[in-house]
Amino acid sequence: MIAKMALTPDRDPHVSWAPEREQSSGIAASVRGVSKRFKKSRVLEDISFDVAEGESLVLLGASGSGKTTILRIIAGLEQPDSGRVILHGKDVTDLPARERGVGVIFQAYALFPRMTVEKNIAYGLKIRRRPRKERRETVDRLIKLVQLEQHRKKYPSQLSGGQQQRVAIARTLAYKPQVLLFDEPFGALDAQTRVHLRREIRALLRQVKVPSVFITHDQEEALELGDRIAVLNDGRLEQIGTPDDVYNHPATEFVATFLGAANLLIGVAVGGFVEIGTAKLPAEKETRRFRDGQSVKLVFRPEDVCVSQDANLPEGCRRLTNGVIEEVNFVGAYERLTVRLDLTHRKGDTDALYEVTINTPQRMTGVPIMVTRPKPEANALRYKTGDRVAIGLTSFSVLPNYTLARQR
The residues of the shown chain that bind another protein, judged by CB under 8 A, are 75-77, 96-104, 106-108, 110-115, 123-124, 127-128, 156-157, 171-172, 175
The span from the CA of 133 to the CA of 268, in Å, is: 70
CB of 114 to another protein, least distance (A): 4
361 CB contacts (<8 Å, ≥6 apart)?
A: none
Cβ burial of 13 (10 Å; 0-12, 13-18, 19+) is: exposed
| CB closer to another protein out of 6 and 110 | 110
Question: How big is the CA angle at 252 (ends 74 and 361), to the nearest 5 degrees?
Answer: 90
Least Å from the CB of residue 106 to another protein: 5
In whole angstroms, the minimum distance from the beta carbon of 119 to another protein comes to 9
Q: How far is the CB of 104 from another protein (least distance, A)?
A: 5
Q: CB–CB of 298/270 below 8 Å?
A: no
To the nearest whole angstrom, how small is the minimum distance from the Cβ of residue 107 to another protein?
8
Judged by beta carbon, residue 106 or residue 273, the one nearer another protein is 106
Name, in order, each residue with C-beta under 8 angstroms of 220's C-beta and a sequence gap of 6 or more.
none
- What stretch of H or E contains 167? helix 161-173
Task: Give the H/E segment covering residue 339.
Answer: strand 334-341
* Nearest to another protein of 122, 231 (CB atom): 122
Q: Residue 114 or residue 285: which is nearer to another protein going by CB? A: 114
At its nearest, how many Å lie between another protein and the CB of residue 360?
Answer: 29
Residue 129 Cβ vs another protein, minimum distance, rounded to whole Å: 11
Cα distance between residue 336 and residue 370, in whole Å: 7
Q: Do residues 270 and 288 lie in contact, with contact meaning Cβ atoms separated by under 8 Å?
A: no
Query: Which of 10, 5, 6, 28 lies closest to 18, judged by CA?
Result: 28
CB nearer to another protein: pick between 70 and 264: 70
Nearer to another protein, 130 or 280 (CB): 130
Cβ proximity to another protein, 71 vs 358, nearer residue:
71
Let me know how long the chain is.
408
Nearer to another protein, 175 or 354 (CB): 175
What is the C-alpha end-to-end distance of the chain, expressed in Å? 47
Q: CA–CA distance from 149 to each of 5, 122, 172, 277, 367 (Å)?
A: 13, 15, 18, 66, 59
CB of 101 to another protein, least distance (A): 7
Q: Report in angstroms how near the CB of residue 161 gets to another protein at its nearest.
A: 13
Of 122 and 259, nearer to another protein (C-beta) is: 122
Residue 279 neighbours by CB under 8 Å, 6+ apart: 320, 321, 341, 342, 343
- Residue 309 CA to residue 322 CA, distance in Å, equals 10
Closer residue to another protein (CB): 171 or 228: 171
Write b or e for each residue in 119-134: b if 16 or more Cβ atoms lie within 10 A of its Cβ, otherwise e.
Answer: bbbbbbbeeeeeeeee
Shortest reach from residue 317's CB to another protein, in Å: 51
